[in-house]
Amino acid sequence: MKSYISDSILKSVTKPARYVGGEVNSIDKSRELAEGKISIRAAMCFADIYDIGMSHLGYKMLYHLLNEREDTWCERVFAPWTDMEEKMRENGYKLYGIESQSPVENFDLMGFSLQYEMSYTNILNMLDLAGIPIYAKDRLPEHPFVFAGGPSANNTEPLADFFDFYNLGEGEEMLNEIFDCYATWKSKNLPRAEFLKMVNEIPGVYVPSLHNPGDGFKVKKRIVTDFENAYFPKKMIVPLCEVVHDRVSLEIFRGCIRGCRFCQAGFIYRPVRERSIDRLVQMAKDQLESTGYEEVSLLSLSTSDYTNLFPLADELLTTCEPQHVSLALPSLRVDNMSLDLVKRVSRVRKSGLTLAPEAGTQRLRDVINKGVTEEELENAVRLAFENGWNNVKLYFMLGLPTETDEDVLGIAKLGQKVLDIYEEVHRGRKARRPEISISVSTFVPKPFTPFQWEGQDSYDEIIRKQNLLKTAIPRKIKFNWHDPETSILEAAISRGDRRLGAVIYDAWSKGAKFDSWSEEMNYDRWMDAFRSQGLSAHEYAQRQFDFDDELPWDHVDIGVRKQFLIDENNRAHAEVITPNCREKCARCGAACYGKGLCVGKVN
């Protein structure tokens, strides 16, 4: 396939491989298109660079799923980095699909995966670069329909003016229904508005132009009804250049049994559904055979809560070891690590051990329902050190509801305890220097969590707590922290209503893009955008909602009852733990789907 972009431009930009396509296992349907067999051309858009998008399992999976359709050619589209965008605009190039190397303005559908609020200006920038009107109301019959899904889409309102529709929840089944609907609409040559009425009838679809905030309309998220046999490609695209996660990723289960009160994913992906060992091993074999990767990673919200993790690890290692393929585990809960699991994984390669206590004191861990004790953390790191690990990463949050300075300083004390344990384990014998790091993010109150009513700390308070921690952490420990500006904006946008669309547009028009990248983020630009619309980012981020307030996202039903979230908020302030879903059903409401762990439990 001849490149749409000239060679001279490709040679002048960073990582030209991002833009040319032709990867192993990518899908070229140019012949079918020429033969008239393709009636739907779709763009699967990721509002960040190739390196990030090609690391995202869900994005790649849905790309392959849509290309299973004989009537559809789905192509990938990523946000070009600033150097490439500059060259494209200077030379009159438009945003294009990687596979066909042709402009997306001629496609039928453009779907965006919303993973993070700080990518929203990239969406507007991509539409503008494509030559497609940014506001949905301005699109003409010849323009593609622009829609969105993904975790951040569950608050539809900040971007409501820009999308024709949303698909809310899990897309494996819903996307095919949407594309069937489009095929029917197109075959009848109906007006553009008719498609929006038709697609609005599909469960899980929300059309902003047909509804006003507070009009009483409810849309319920979709889930995959049979996760064991849910679509998973036998062949996955192998990127041409290095990306963030260059490996086989196996989604071993969806949802989470824990209910950490700050974690949006833990609630929006309920109910918990697992895949069998046989299915996962076959998926791994297919992927390794078709990609040549040298690492398999187990993907879920809490991998160590998979029912049969040890037998699964054994089976995968039996497959991986002869091929010199390593098995990677993500951040583990410290309460169910075992010597057995540590030894099994370390047979191939020792990578750093990542633990996420989240809070520095037991009191605050109870507030957030983490369900991890100090003793369990100490036992976990001792186990790791005794078995050859010297690299431990600890993740925490600052600004959690009810947090005190004692809780903040507790993070430093935990770090010191980890150091002490390392020295105790290696006392009297030669040992490598310990590599211990503490990473601290700022709490962001997210929709659909028990903390959605809580306000975020002010800018000054975040800075004060960060400085308090900097002076308390031992010098032998590496300390990483997030800038408060990004966290404040994330909170403001994630809790935003439809008025924020004008703010996002204003920020983009002032030059905002790649706001999740520190070198591109301009906080003052965003503050100007809020002020120009008569709004305040700090008020959006710090506002304390009452339980009976109408929330901007109340029209979306994720299957978890609002009253359950209220009860969990009250339990947090009472410092009371809620048992995990396997121990006892908390009657959250997710049993309404009749699937997964909830089956057979009273709700």
Residue 322 pLDDT greater than 50, yes or no: yes
3-class secondary-structure state, position 529:
helix
**Cβ contacts of residue 5 below 8 Å, gap of 6+?**
19, 20, 84, 87, 88, 93, 101
Residue 602 pLDDT greater than 80, yes or no: no
Residue 220 pLDDT greater than 70, yes or no: yes
Residue 599 pLDDT greater than 90, yes or no: no
**Cβ contacts of residue 476 below 8 Å, gap of 6+?**
419, 434, 436
3-class secondary-structure state, position 537:
helix
Can you read off the two tokens belonging to residue 73? 């050619």
Residues 132 and 124: their CA atoms lie apart, in Å, by 10
At residue 386 the predicted structure's pLDDT band, cuts being 50, 70 and 90, is confident
When the pLDDT of each residue in the chain is averaged and rounded to a whole number, the result is 93
pLDDT score, position 243: 86
Q: What is the DSSP string of 30-65?
A: HHHHHTT---EEEEEEESS-HHHHTT-HHHHHHHHH
As a whole number, mean pLDDT of residues 379-386 equals: 86
User: H helices within 453-561, ranges in order?
Assistant: 459-472, 484-494, 500-509, 523-532, 537-542
Can you read off the two tokens belonging to residue 509? 């028009």
Q: Would residue 283 count as lying in a domain?
A: no
Q: Is the CB of residue 334 less than 8 Å from the CB of residue 372?
A: yes
Sign (positive/negative) of CA torsion 268, 270, 274, 279?
Answer: negative
**Cβ contacts of residue 138 below 8 Å, gap of 6+?**
none
Residues 536 and 158: their CA atoms lie apart, in Å, by 14
Residue 336 pLDDT greater than 70, yes or no: no
Indicate the range of 138-147, 187-196, 306-315, 360-369 predicted with least confidence. 306-315
Q: Would residue 152 count as lying in a domain?
A: yes
Give residue 72's domain range. 7-220
As a whole number, mean pLDDT of residues 427-456 equals: 94
Q: Would residue 167 count as lying in a domain?
A: yes
Residues 125 and 123: their CA atoms lie apart, in Å, by 5
The gap between the terminal CA atoms of the chain, to the nearest Å, is 55
Q: Would residue 294 count as lying in a domain?
A: no
Can you read off the two tokens belonging to residue 285? 């074999």
DSSP one-letter code for 273: E
Q: Would residue 241 count as lying in a domain?
A: no
Q: Would residue 330 count as lying in a domain?
A: no
pLDDT score, position 146: 99
Nearest by Cα to 296 from 311, 285, 310, 307: 285
Residues 437 and 393: their CA atoms lie apart, in Å, by 5
Residues 591 and 603: their CA atoms lie apart, in Å, by 6
pLDDT score, position 1: 59
Q: Is the CB of residue 452 less than 8 Å from the CB of residue 446?
A: yes
**Cβ contacts of residue 522 below 8 Å, gap of 6+?**
511, 512
pLDDT score, position 332: 59
How many domains, in total, are found in the chain?
1
- Residues in the chain, overall count: 603
Sign (positive/negative) of CA torsion 509, 514, 516, 517?
Answer: negative
Instruction: Kindly state the helix (H) or strand (E) to which residue 296 belongs, with its residue range.
Output: strand 295-299
Residues 136 and 141: their CA atoms lie apart, in Å, by 11
Q: Would residue 202 count as lying in a domain?
A: yes
**Cβ contacts of residue 471 below 8 Å, gap of 6+?**
none
Task: Give me the phi and psi of 272, to 5 degrees please.
Answer: -70, 130
| Residue 460 or residue 385, greater confidence | 460
As a whole number, mean pLDDT of residues 509-533 equals: 97
Residues 169 and 202: their CA atoms lie apart, in Å, by 12
Kindly report whether the global pTM for this prediction surpasses the value 0.85: yes
Residue 429 pLDDT greater than 60, yes or no: yes
Residue 9 pLDDT greater than 60, yes or no: yes
Nearest 5°: CA angle at 530, between 155 and 86?
85
At residue 603 the predicted structure's pLDDT band, cuts being 50, 70 and 90, is very low
As a whole number, mean pLDDT of residues 52-59 equals: 95
Residue 477 pLDDT greater than 60, yes or no: yes
* The dihedral formed by the CA atoms of 493, 56, 440 and 157, expressed in degrees to the nearest 10: 10
- Count helices and strands (H / E) in the chain: 21, 19
Q: What percent of the chain has pLDDT over 70?
A: 95
Residues 85 and 105: their CA atoms lie apart, in Å, by 16
Indicate the range of 258-272, 274-288, 348-362 predicted with least confidence. 348-362
Q: Is the CB of residue 271 less than 8 Å from the CB of residue 224?
A: no
Q: What is the DSSP string of 392-441?
A: EEEEEEES-TT--HHHHHHHHHHHHHHHHHHHHHTTTS--PPPEEEEEEE
Q: Would residue 479 count as lying in a domain?
A: no
Tens digits of residue pLDDT in 159-168 = 999 999 999 9
As a whole number, mean pLDDT of residues 92-103 equals: 97
Nearest by Cα to 436 from 350, 334, 339, 355: 355
Q: What percent of the chain has pLDDT over 90?
A: 82
